[in-house]
Amino acid sequence: MTVLFPKWTNKIPVFAALGAACKGLVVIFVVWFWFSPKHIDVGYQPEQPILYSHKLHAGLLGMDCRYCHREVESGPHATVPDADTCMGCHKQVKNDSDRLTLLRDNYGDGSGDNIPIPWIKVHLLPDYAYFSHAVHMNANVGCTSCHGRVDQMEIVRQVEPLSMGWCLECHRAPEAHVRPAGVKPTDMAWTPTEASIAAARERLTRGELNPPTHCSACHR
Amino acid sequence: MTAITVIDEPENPLRRAPLVEGTNDFTSVTNIVARVVENKTPKGWYLMFGAAIALLLNLGAMIGYLIFTGIGVWGNNSPVGWGWPIVNFVFWIGIGHAGTLISAILFLFRQKWRTSINRASEAMTIFAVMAAGIFPAIHVGRIWVIWWVFPLPNQMALWPNFKSPLLWDVFAVSTYFTVSLLFWFVGLVPDLATFRDRAAKAGRTVAARVYGAFSLGWHGSNRHWIHYEKAYLILAALSTPLVLSVHSIVSFDFAVSIVPGWHTTIFPPYFVAGAIFSGFGMVLTLMIPARQWLGLQELVTLNHLDNIAKILLLTGTMVGYAYGMEFFIAWYSGSEYEKFCFTNRAFGPYWWAYWIMVSCNVISPQFFWFRSLRRNPMFLFVVSIFVNIGMWFERFVITVSSLNRDFLPSSWGYFSPTIIDILTYAGSFGLFFTFFLLFCRFMPIIAISEVKGVMPQANPHHGHDDHGHGHTAAHTH
């Protein structure tokens, strides 16, 4: 019989099988690890149209988040302030600052062209995930749990993955993120204590606090 | 010594009909199968292959259109959320049951007549499962997240729902496909080696190398045969439960729900019987023209067709029993919803589909009580087409007529397929026939080595009758 293949070709099927198995595992690992929001979303820090400093306003000046994000307690969105809110102060304070040119141009008193400031959304949830700020605020979940220490950020960046697994982690064990009565949710420096964890656990047991983990809680 | 006389008359019921007809020996059997591949490609093949490729391209276009547009291009809509895609899935997966039944269960039961039809039936199984697999995959709508059906680590903390029969389906069908493919391939190895050697001898180097790569260095030593027989037996034993389990699990997609018309315990055996019925129907549809056009009448004999027709009669009658029993239970249960569902099925807006199903599946195989009709290839071919039609309508009736009038009369509706539904279904035939025609052209369509094993020449006593050891039995072959 004619020899069609050299002897070393006997090893091809074994190496092909092993190679395919390894390749499969590598692909799964790469997608799981590097394609996750932990890697592709955390650290997102877009350049905003106005060089606004949260560190100055929320940190040094100590303004409450709700002064600007005023729908946070009553609606699903925290809302980004309109130019009126900014100009409430900035008509008096630093009203000739170069940084505020865009704000003054777009201020809706008829003097500008009246186009909303094109802020870039940093914390973006997909359309198919229902999320309400109001519910979380009323359960006294602090801003820092999801947004981090915004009072220390010159420019806001995303510090948490906002992935479904990350949401579920907290919904399954929210003790460290629920604040006791009397502590403001907007208090940036607050950290959980043994007492606060015990109190949150107590509320969970009594059923006052009931974070849902079923699909239609968020996918309605 | 008493001489045992076996009378050689065709009508003698004691005489076992030969499995290979004509005056064939081992060489001529190899020649019959190999010449299908070695002869010049017939014009008819090009014609059929062109048609199949056109349908396959149409399938690709339809799937592309579906993915870019969305499920709305189909007729699926409330209240009939499961339309043609699921009907087509169950239709094809059912067809995919005959191959493994023939190769595994008939092998374990030592039914030697399986040898000349098992190879083509296994090929049919594999191509049918491929055609079937497309439909649930594209039916998810967002095909780019299809990997959610597998238990893979991810940042969504998302894990498949192991309580869902739809997930069992994923594992049942993929296991079935893998085992069927392995079984088919293992059986092919000795024959591919034969093709390799013939190609090498004829100086067709490319063909010799391709067949050689897939025949894994087979040279027919005793050691090879020992391993081969063991592997074949193990795979047959592995496939046997799969024949029964896969379609049982497909039936759970329906039976585990609470929809009247679906929520019945008879579904698993009823689906398995139907699957074998439809699979053997498709075997006839493929093998009758194939044996004619490829000159295989001496290997795929009228006895083979006769046996298949008997299985069609048996399974068709079992399916008919299931149809009747469904009505009996609907009445006996006392549940008004069950009763309404079945009255609606037979006399509601889809009465025509129901009666097409009954006439094709229950009435048409009853002709096979007659031997002359079981041995008439033309008649068998026509009935096999009816079986294919009937079994598609069975799945249509089960899926659509159970959903179209649900508990809330205000949401009743009438399902109509769109042109995209129809073209996608036609395209799945393109996929199936493209592969089957390639198989017929380039692969050993009949298991040469197995057929040789059931020929009288393979019997160790063959040709030793007159050695004068006192065994003067007058055997006739």
| Dist CA B279 CA B285 (whole Å) | 10
B34 in Cβ contact with B470 (< 8 Å): no
- 3-class secondary-structure state, position A137: helix
Distances, alpha carbon B45 to alpha carbons B87, B127, B442, in Å = 30, 18, 12
Phi and psi at residue B266, to the nearest 5°: -75, -15
Structure tokens at B303: 């006895």
Per-residue pLDDT tens digits for B103-141: 888 888 888 888 889 899 999 999 999 999 999 999 998
> A165–B155: do the CB atoms touch at under 8 Å?
yes
| Dist CA B225 CA B143 (whole Å) | 44
| Dist CA B195 CA B30 (whole Å) | 9
Nearest-Cα distance to chain B for A93, in Å, is 45
With a cut of 80, say whether residue A74 has pLDDT above it: yes
Residue B457 located in a structural domain = no
At residue B1, the pLDDT reads 46
B358 in Cβ contact with B351 (< 8 Å): no
Q: Which residues of B touch A (CB under 8 A)?
A: 152-158, 196-197, 200, 208-209, 212-213, 216-217, 219
Phi and psi at residue A183, to the nearest 5°: -100, 130
**Mean pLDDT taken over chain B:** 89
| Dist CA B194 CA B443 (whole Å) | 11
Beta-carbon neighbour count of residue B87 at 10 Å?
23
Per-residue pLDDT tens digits for B321-331: 999 999 999 99
Residue B349 preceded by cis peptide, ω within 30 = no
With a cut of 90, say whether residue B13 has pLDDT above it: no
Identify the residue whose tokens are 């579906």: B66
A202 CB within 8 Å of a chain B CB? no
Residues of B in contact with A32 (CB under 8 A): 152-155
Q: Which of B271, B294, B258 is nearest to B402 (CA)?
A: B258
| Dist CA B1 CA B403 (whole Å) | 72
> A164–B196: do the CB atoms touch at under 8 Å?
no
Per-residue pLDDT tens digits for B388-429: 999 999 999 999 999 999 888 898 999 999 999 999 999 999
> B155–A163: do the CB atoms touch at under 8 Å?
yes
Residues of B in contact with A169 (CB under 8 A): 157
Per-residue pLDDT tens digits for B264-279: 999 999 999 999 999 9
Residue B290 located in a structural domain = yes
Q: Which of B282, B288, B307 is nearest to B392 (CA)?
A: B282
> B155–A5: do the CB atoms touch at under 8 Å?
no
Identify the residue whose tokens are 């090498």: B200
Residue B248 located in a structural domain = yes
> A5–B196: do the CB atoms touch at under 8 Å?
no
In terms of CA atoms, which chain B residue is nearest residue A24? B152
Identify the residue whose tokens are 């729900």: B257
Question: How confident is residue A117, by pLDDT bands cut at 50, 70 and 90?
Answer: confident
| Dist CA B155 CA A39 (whole Å) | 11
Number of domains in chain B: 1
Per-residue pLDDT tens digits for B215-232: 888 988 999 999 999 999
Residues of B in contact with A24 (CB under 8 A): none
In terms of CA atoms, which chain A residue is nearest residue B216? A10
Nearest-Cα distance to chain B for A145, in Å, is 18
At residue B157, the pLDDT reads 85
Nearest-Cα distance to chain A for B474, in Å, is 41
**pLDDT mean over A147-158:** 95
B104 in Cβ contact with B111 (< 8 Å): no
B385 in Cβ contact with B285 (< 8 Å): yes
At residue A73, the pLDDT reads 93
| Dist CA A178 CA A159 (whole Å) | 19
Phi and psi at residue B80, to the nearest 5°: -95, 85
Q: What is the CA radius of gyration of chain B?
A: 25
- What ipTM describes this predicted complex? 0.74
Full residue range of the structural domain in which residue B289 is found: 76-415
With a cut of 50, say whether residue A53 has pLDDT above it: yes
Nearest-Cα distance to chain B for A184, in Å, is 30
Distances, alpha carbon B434 to alpha carbons B85, B94, B278, B285, B331, in Å = 20, 19, 20, 16, 46
> A164–B219: do the CB atoms touch at under 8 Å?
no
Distances, alpha carbon B215 to alpha carbons A30, B185, B443, in Å = 36, 9, 12
In terms of CA atoms, which chain B residue is nearest residue A8? B217
Phi-psi label, residue A34: left if phi above 0, alpha if psi -120 to 50, beta otherwise: alpha
A75 CB within 8 Å of a chain B CB? no
Question: How confident is residue B472, by pLDDT bands cut at 50, 70 and 90?
Answer: very low
- 3-class secondary-structure state, position B294: coil
Structure tokens at B351: 């009465």
DSSP A26-69: HHHHHHHHHSSHHHHTTT--PPPSS---HIIIIIIS---GGGTS
Identify the residue whose tokens are 């010799």: B208
Residues of A in contact with B157 (CB under 8 A): 164-165, 168-169
Question: How confident is residue A95, by pLDDT bands cut at 50, 70 and 90?
Answer: confident
Q: Which of B14, B22, B33 is nearest to B450 (CA)?
A: B33
Per-residue pLDDT tens digits for B355-364: 999 999 999 9
> A37–B197: do the CB atoms touch at under 8 Å?
no
Phi and psi at residue B474, to the nearest 5°: -90, 75
**pLDDT mean over B457-465:** 73
Residues of B in contact with A37 (CB under 8 A): 155
With a cut of 80, say whether residue B235 has pLDDT above it: yes
With a cut of 90, say whether residue B443 has pLDDT above it: yes
| Dist CA B251 CA B270 (whole Å) | 9
**pLDDT mean over B293-314:** 91
In terms of CA atoms, which chain A residue is nearest residue B206? A4
Please report the number of interchain residue pairs, chain A to chain B, with beta-carbon separation below 8 angstroms: 41
| Dist CA B234 CA A131 (whole Å) | 54
- 3-class secondary-structure state, position A193: coil
> B157–A168: do the CB atoms touch at under 8 Å?
yes
> B153–A32: do the CB atoms touch at under 8 Å?
yes
- pTM across the whole model: 0.87
Measured between CB atoms, which of B158, B200, B217 is closest to A10?
A: B217
Length of chain A: 220
| Dist CA B421 CA B399 (whole Å) | 15
Residue B262 located in a structural domain = yes
Instruction: Return the half-sphere exposure (C-beta side, CA atoms, 13 A cut-off) of residue B88.
Output: 24
| Residue B175 or B453, more confident | B175
Residue B466 located in a structural domain = no
Measured between CB atoms, which of A4, A166, A169 is closest to B208?
A: A4
| Dist CA A189 CA A169 (whole Å) | 22
Q: Name B77's bridge partners.
A: B80
At residue B3, the pLDDT reads 54
B155, B178, B182, B196: best to mutate for the A interface, most A CBs within 10 A: B155
Q: Considering only residues 144 to 183 of chain A, which have any Cβ-Cβ distance to chain B shorter than 8 Å?
A: 161, 163-166, 168-169
| Dist CA B280 CA B114 (whole Å) | 12
Q: Which amino acid is at B275?
A: A
Per-residue pLDDT tens digits for B46-60: 999 999 999 999 999
At residue B9, the pLDDT reads 55
Nearest-Cα distance to chain A for B250, in Å, is 25
Residue B98 located in a structural domain = yes
Nearest-Cα distance to chain B for A164, in Å, is 4
Residue B68 located in a structural domain = no
Residue B41 located in a structural domain = no
B442 in Cβ contact with B36 (< 8 Å): no
Per-residue pLDDT tens digits for B149-180: 888 888 888 889 899 999 999 999 999 999 99
B215 in Cβ contact with B200 (< 8 Å): no
Nearest-Cα distance to chain B for A4, in Å, is 6
Identify the residue whose tokens are 């010594």: B1
Instruction: Return the half-sphere exposure (C-beta side, CA atoms, 13 A cut-off) of residue B443.
Output: 22
A37 CB within 8 Å of a chain B CB? yes
With a cut of 50, say whether residue A1 has pLDDT above it: yes
- 3-class secondary-structure state, position B173: helix
Measured between CB atoms, which of B157, B200, B217 is closest to A165?
A: B157
| Dist CA B242 CA B247 (whole Å) | 8
With a cut of 90, say whether residue A84 has pLDDT above it: no
| Dist CA B395 CA B91 (whole Å) | 7
Question: How confident is residue A108, by pLDDT bands cut at 50, 70 and 90?
Answer: low
First to last CA, chain B: 22
In terms of CA atoms, which chain A residue is nearest residue B153? A32
